Amino acid sequence: MDIMNLLLTRRSIRKYSNQDVSEEQVNLLIKAAMYAPSAGNQQPWHFMVLRDKKIFDKIQEFHPYSKMLTGASVAVLICGDMSLETKTGYWTIDCSAATENMLIAAHGLGLGACWLGVYPRQERMNGFSVLFTLPEKIMPFSLVSIGFPAENKAVPERFNTSRIHYYKW
């Protein structure tokens, strides 16, 4: 798949088949995430791989938009490590780039994925921190549910020239 087609056809997938995502595929997704740009190359991220359905159920107790985890083969929690942050305030941008790389890589591998927002919702951040006994310097940022897609989504037209400005507003 060429890069433009990959970018334009990626959708948030919330329904998955029963087919398992392999460890090799998960490692490729995390590798793609780790190759995201980061401010000053600080790479302030950590990745927690989750496969336990009981943990998915617990996440649904504090994350109101996580029902797709029920069908997911795997989920990856992306966290920012404040002890690695050398460019103050950029950890969220860096973790966003890592999350997006993971989503695009999943689509490129024929997988479906969905970005579940965690940061800056304190109740969600606290839920993950407590559930996984995260160290104080580790900030849960996003959760990506992953599986083989059991749904097809149309590609909407999003190119909007009214949002393009040249040299003035």
Domain locations along the chain: 13-149
125-164 confidence digits (pLDDT tens): 999 999 999 999 999 999 999 999 999 999 999 999 999 9
Q: What residues contact residue 7 under an 8 Å CB cut-off, 6+ apart?
A: 104
Which CATH number among 3.40.50.720, 3.40.50.300, 3.30.750.200, 3.40.109.10 corresponds to the domain 13-149?
A: 3.40.109.10
> Which pTM value belongs to this model?
0.97
pLDDT at 1: 72
Three-state SS string across 95-140, please?
HHHHHHHHHHHHHHCCCEEEEEECCCCHHHHHHHHHHCCCCCCEEE
Token pair for 95: 């973790």
* Neighbouring C-beta atoms of residue 105, cutoff 10 Å: 21
More confident residue, 83 or 1: 83
